[in-house]
């Protein structure tokens, strides 16, 4: 056990001594050792190997009986024994040849030059390799030549021959895809049509047809199509579209009307039925404008909570089938429709109407009205003031009474203006 420990310690000390005595070779010594002459190496190796073979081969013992032993031929000078075949000099040439002379005073490494070839090459004395340059990168360095292939080419998609159909000539219940299918079926035999597309501009909707040739365009424009109820396609232009938009806006104004002071919880379908029965006209569309209503005001600061007014009205815009229904409503003496115990005010969309300002600007303001009073309760006051309509303003949570605006036509002959007066209302003054 002790002998094994001593041998291990002696081995470690020997390795440590060899490591401390080891000296790093310089570049010149490494080159000299690598590219030195092969003769010295071969002669030294041969001498060393012969010495080892001589020492390792045992001394032949004397022959005890010459009759029983085989005759041994004399050693030929050109014949090599089996044990010394490894001592034959190698006939292979050294594949590594120095490409540059060894300079004794060379201290710095050679700088690699930039290689433009795609083959990997390593410069002598360099430890890095250069990545190959791909053919694509090599082509990018060369100035590319521009060829005008599309100079005289006119794409069919950029054609200026465009026709269009208005959407209102088709059935209102049909979708855009169904209308497009009808158009494609109507022009199925035309091969110069490029595309069909639905377009919406402002208040109008139409379908465009892109034609590829002038000949087909001139043949189809403003020609009735039997499969489309003899509707004729129109020539598309921005000026034509602007004229249609302007005409459509004026037409919508003439066929639409605003209904104000509609109770916020009143059913819109029931309101439409009341208006349709009153005008005896069909209603094309409607639009509700409901103000935002806070669901919980307890989280607001006290000052804002006391000043907050809960919205009680909504606005509804109706569009009739004919403009005569709007004219009928505006020609009524009262500027509203009485439904149950509330009055819905009627205002036109067109601000150029003569009495538009009178319908939107209150003539009188009445205060001190009980919170539970209705329009029917104020009938004596409205009859005395020759009022056309009336509205109650929203109240606060801390209000003790409410305020009403009264609208009158100041151009009436029997209109009399009052500065200020007080009146009693069921024991309230």
Report d(CA 211, CA 164) in Å as an integer.
11
- Are the C-beta atoms of residues 345 and 336 closer than 8 Å to each other? yes
- Are the C-beta atoms of residues 364 and 410 closer than 8 Å to each other? no
Provide the pLDDT for residue 131: 53
Provide the pLDDT for residue 346: 95
How big is the CA angle at 232 (ends 228 and 237), to the nearest 5 degrees? 125
In CATH terms, 156-236 corresponds, of 2.60.40, 3.90.220, 3.90.350, 3.30.70, to 3.30.70
Provide the pLDDT for residue 245: 95
- Are the C-beta atoms of residues 305 and 391 closer than 8 Å to each other? no
Report d(CA 303, CA 398) in Å as an integer.
11
pLDDT along the chain (429 residues), means of 10: 69 79 72 64 51 50 47 51 49 53 52 49 50 53 71 68 95 94 95 93 94 93 93 94 94 94 94 93 93 73 76 94 93 93 92 86 93 92 93 89 94 88 70
Residue 325's H or E segment, with its range, is: helix 323-330
Provide the pLDDT for residue 262: 95
Report d(CA 418, CA 79) in Å as an integer.
152
Instruction: Using alpha carbons, select from 152, 156, 178 the residue that is nearest to residue 167.
Output: 178
First to last CA, the chain: 127
Please tell me if the domain spanning 156-236 has the same topology as the one spanning 250-408: yes
Residue 357's H or E segment, with its range, is: helix 356-360
Report d(CA 125, CA 122) in Å as an integer.
9
- Are the C-beta atoms of residues 194 and 157 closer than 8 Å to each other? yes
**250-408 maps to which CATH number?**
3.30.70.330
Provide the pLDDT for residue 65: 47
pTM of the model: 0.58
Dihedral angle sign, alpha carbons of residues 160, 166, 170, 171? positive
- Taking the domains of the chain in order of start, what are their residue ranges? 156-236, 250-408
For 255, counting Cβ atoms within 10 Å of its Cβ (0-12 exposed, 13-18 middle, 19+ buried), the class is buried
Q: Which residues contact 263 (CB under 8 A, 6 or more apart)?
A: 312, 313, 314, 342
- Under DSSP, the state recorded for 100 is S
Provide the pLDDT for residue 250: 92
Provide the pLDDT for residue 23: 66
Helices and strands per DSSP (H, E), number in the chain: 12, 12
- Under DSSP, the state recorded for 396 is B
Provide the pLDDT for residue 424: 82
Instruction: Using alpha carbons, select from 229, 190, 182, 225 the residue that is nearest to residue 207.
Output: 182
Dihedral angle sign, alpha carbons of residues 362, 365, 370, 376? negative
Predicted confidence (pLDDT) per residue in 121-174, tens digit: 444 554 555 555 555 555 555 567 788 777 766 666 667 899 999 999 999 899
Provide the pLDDT for residue 196: 96
Predicted confidence (pLDDT) per residue in 10-23, tens digit: 888 887 887 777 66
The encoded tokens of residue 306 equal 């006391």
Provide the pLDDT for residue 302: 76
Query: Taking all residues of the chain, what is their mean pLDDT, rounded to a whole number?
Result: 78
Dihedral angle sign, alpha carbons of residues 21, 23, 29, 34? positive
* Residues shown for the chain: 429
């Amino acid at each position: 056990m002790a002998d094994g420990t001593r041998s291990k310690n002696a081995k470690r000390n020997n390795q440590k001594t060899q490591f401390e005595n080891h000296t790093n070779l310089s570049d010149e010594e490494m080159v000299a050792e690598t590219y030195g002459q092969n003769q010295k190496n071969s002669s030294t190796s041969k001498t060393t190997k012969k010495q080892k073979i001589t020492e390792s081969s045992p001394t032949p013992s004397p022959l005890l009986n010459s009759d029983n032993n085989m005759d041994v031929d004399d050693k030929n000078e050109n014949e090599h024994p089996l044990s010394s075949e490894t001592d034959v000099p190698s006939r292979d040439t050294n594949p590594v040849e120095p490409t540059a002379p060894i300079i004794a005073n060379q201290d710095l490494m050679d700088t690699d030059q930039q290689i433009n070839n795609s083959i990997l090459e390593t410069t002598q004395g360099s430890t890095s390799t250069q990545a190959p340059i791909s053919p694509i990168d090599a082509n990018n360095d060369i100035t590319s030549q521009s060829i005008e292939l599309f100079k005289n080419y006119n794409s069919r998609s950029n054609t200026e021959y465009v026709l269009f159909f208005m959407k209102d000539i088709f059935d209102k219940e049909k979708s855009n895809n169904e209308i497009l299918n009808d158009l494609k079926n109507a022009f199925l035999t035309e091969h110069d049509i490029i595309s069909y597309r639905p377009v919406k501009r402002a208040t109008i909707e139409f379908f465009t047809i892109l034609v590829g040739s002038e000949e087909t365009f001139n043949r189809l424009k403003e020609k009735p199509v039997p499969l489309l109820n003899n509707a004729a396609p129109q020539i598309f232009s921005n000026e034509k579209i602007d004229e249609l938009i302007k005409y459509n806006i004026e037409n919508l104004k003439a066929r639409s009307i605003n209904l104000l002071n509609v109770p916020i919880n009143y059913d819109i379908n029931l309101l439409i039925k009341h208006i349709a029965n009153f005008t005896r006209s069909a209603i094309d569309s409607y639009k509700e404008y409901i103000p935002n209503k806070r669901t919980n005001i307890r989280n607001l600061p006290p000052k804002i909570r006391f000043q907050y007014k809960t919205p009680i009205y909504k606005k509804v815009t109706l569009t009739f089938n004919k403009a005569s229904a709007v004219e009928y409503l505006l020609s009524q003496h009262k500027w509203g429709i009485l439904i149950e115990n509330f009055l819905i005010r009627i205002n036109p969309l067109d601000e150029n109407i003569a009495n538009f300002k009178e319908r939107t600007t209150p003539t009188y303001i009445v205060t001190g009205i009980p919170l539970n009073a209705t329009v029917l309760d104020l009938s004596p006051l409205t009859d005395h003031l020759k009022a056309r309509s009336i509205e109650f303003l929203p109240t606060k949570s801390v209000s003790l009474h409410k305020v009403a605006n009264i609208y009158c036509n100041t151009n009436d002959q029997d209109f009399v203006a009052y500065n200020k007066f007080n009146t009693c209302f069921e024991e309230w003054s």
